[in-house]
Chain A
Amino acid sequence: MAAVTADQTTQGTAGTADEAEAERLAAFDHAVAADDRIEPRDWMPDAYRASLIRQMAQHAHSEIIGMQPEANWISRAPSLRRKAILMAKVQDEAGHGLYLYSAAETLGTSREELLDKLHAGRQRYSSIFNYPTLTWADVGAIGWLVDGAAITNQVPLCRCSYGPYARAMVRICKEESFHQRQGYELLLALSRGTPAQHEMAQDAVNRWWWPSLMMFGPPDDASAHSAQSMAWKIKRHSNDELRRRFVDICVPQAQALGLALPDPDIRWNEELGQHDYGEIDWTEFQEVLKGNGPCNEQRLTQRRTAHEKGAWVREAAAAYADKHAARPGTAGAAAQPVEATA
């Protein structure tokens, strides 16, 4: 690099620093190229760190906000078995949020900081959770389509270049696959149930199909972060590639369910060996991203309210930990909050 050489001749020390920087970058690029994992203590470019924080935070926030549309049906689940499955699923989502915040914290941020940004509207969550759950069948459609799209997106992340993220994804994908099968099975029961249940299932698929396709993000030619993310091996496949893979998976599943996908343009393309499908309404996508979807306001307000109403509880826990850590002879109290009294 010309600039480095010039620096070296004029300023010896700065030149050495730049040289060291160039060496670190070369080592990083080499590690990425060799499919080695980047770990928290490894050097990484600032932009790589920032990009990962952005993506992992958005992913964590999606798990947390994503609890709301499903939790909306916990109190009305129509059988105790379904109620147990749904509660377990929403609980898993809170757990996934926790893994992902922890993974993001390895990059030098904190959960509090990320939640503050979410609450201030400065970090995003998946656009899909701005759609309402209007019937019980929506719970099944979310499991089948939304979790299905998430898995298609996330399985390649198990090989992401950043170690903590990749390892979190291995664990999360296992649980997500389980949820996806349960959602499919829920829809199957409705589809094969009474005419009213079948109609409920079809209506839910009609409403969730297009928003699920939008989960893969903007088309490749309009995706701001894609090229760099792929070069860094954070992302392994393009948005459109994953979206098409998802359509190919869903078409036979919809047939097996006995439900129609609401797109008259879906057909098998013999030549390309894949399905063609209709045009996504990108205007709607942009509106939802801008905050004008059906539930954006409601989702963020509920999240902020839960956080604000919980402030006194968190303050109490902190005050208690302080008091008990300060007492002589209880040095371990803060790290081990369970009292040792019998």
Chain B
Amino acid sequence: MNAALALGDDALVLSHRLGEWAGHAPVLEEEVALANIALDLLGQARLLLSFVGDEDQLAYLREERAFRNVQLVEQPNGDFAHTIARQLYFSVYQHLLYEELAAGEGEFADLAAKAVKEVAYHRDHAEQWVLRLGDGTTESHERMQLALDALWRFSGELFEPVEGVDIDFNTLRDSWLAAVTSVVDRATLALPSGPQSGAWAAGAGRQGLHTEPFGRMLAEMQHLHRSHPGASW
């Protein structure tokens, strides 16, 4: 598996999901923040995909089975709490991963060094909202807990080793768990207790096995590009 493709697809797909919030956010400041994060991720995706080939060919002309993103990032937005839970799990992972990569000498060191600042902001944004929703009203507390629980089973996949990414994924898992536990505690929420992956889901996204909503997302994303073969935009 190509590491740039895996990391690039993560960023591309999550960026797309966040872009779906435009015009629907709960408050204007979140219109700005969610679009900002989506743009950062899209920028990372474009760099990573261009390590592999033509960014548009890769984004628009691959079918579902050829995408290498984790299943977590393709999950539908749900309510704001689901979006924030997804963002917490992913941005803590991405922040820890990029810090490691930036400190190393691998092919992603430069990219990670630049992206780590953006990702630190994404992580802070997610953590601050988990605190507010968890420790806000009874309703927001319940919604935040439901969202953390619902997405928990996609979190294990984040720590399946990615070939070509030269870090210890077990250490990454420990750091991630410590960070997420700390935020969840402070937010007066409970760490979800179920398995971190389904019976056959661990690493599935990285192998091109996705969840059902993903195909529909790609249909929308790719439709126009595919309708005009060879055109430039």
Contacts and interface: CB of A to CB of B under 8 A. Distances in A.
Interface residues of A, number: 53
Contacts of B224: 76-78, 136
A310 interface: yes
B211 interface: no
B55 interface: yes
A90 B22 CA distance: 7
Interface in A286-342: 302, 305-307, 309-320, 323, 337-339, 341
Interface of A: 64, 67-68, 71, 74-84, 87-88, 90-91, 94-95, 97-98, 101, 136, 186, 189-190, 193-194, 196-197, 302, 305-307, 309-320, 323, 337-339, 341
B139 A312 contact: yes
B45 interface: yes
A94 B31 contact: yes
B24 to A, nearest CB: 5
B232 A189 contact: yes
Contact size range, B: 35 or more
Given A88-B39, A337-B128, A319 B26 contact: no
Interface of B: 12, 16, 19-20, 22-32, 35-36, 38-39, 42-43, 45-46, 49, 55-56, 59-60, 79-80, 124, 128, 131-133, 135-137, 139-140, 143, 186, 220-221, 223-225, 228, 230-233
B228 A197 contact: yes
A323 B135 contact: yes
Given A316-B137, A317-B132, A74 B19 contact: yes
Given A90-B35, A306-B25, A315 B137 contact: yes
A338 B128 contact: yes
B184 to A, nearest CB: 14
A236 to B, nearest CB: 29
B228 A78 contact: yes
Contact of B35 (A94, A307, A314): A94
The DSSP consensus for interface residues of chain B is helix
B228 A341 contact: no
B46 A320 contact: no
A87 B137 contact: no
B24 A306 contact: yes
Given A71-B23, A337-B128, A87 B32 contact: no
Given A186-B233, A305-B24, A320-B131, 20 more contacts: A64-B28, A67-B22, A67-B23, A67-B31, A74-B22, A75-B19, A76-B221, A79-B56, A81-B233, A91-B31, A94-B31, A98-B29, A309-B24, A309-B26, A309-B79, A310-B25, A312-B140, A313-B27, A313-B30, A313-B80
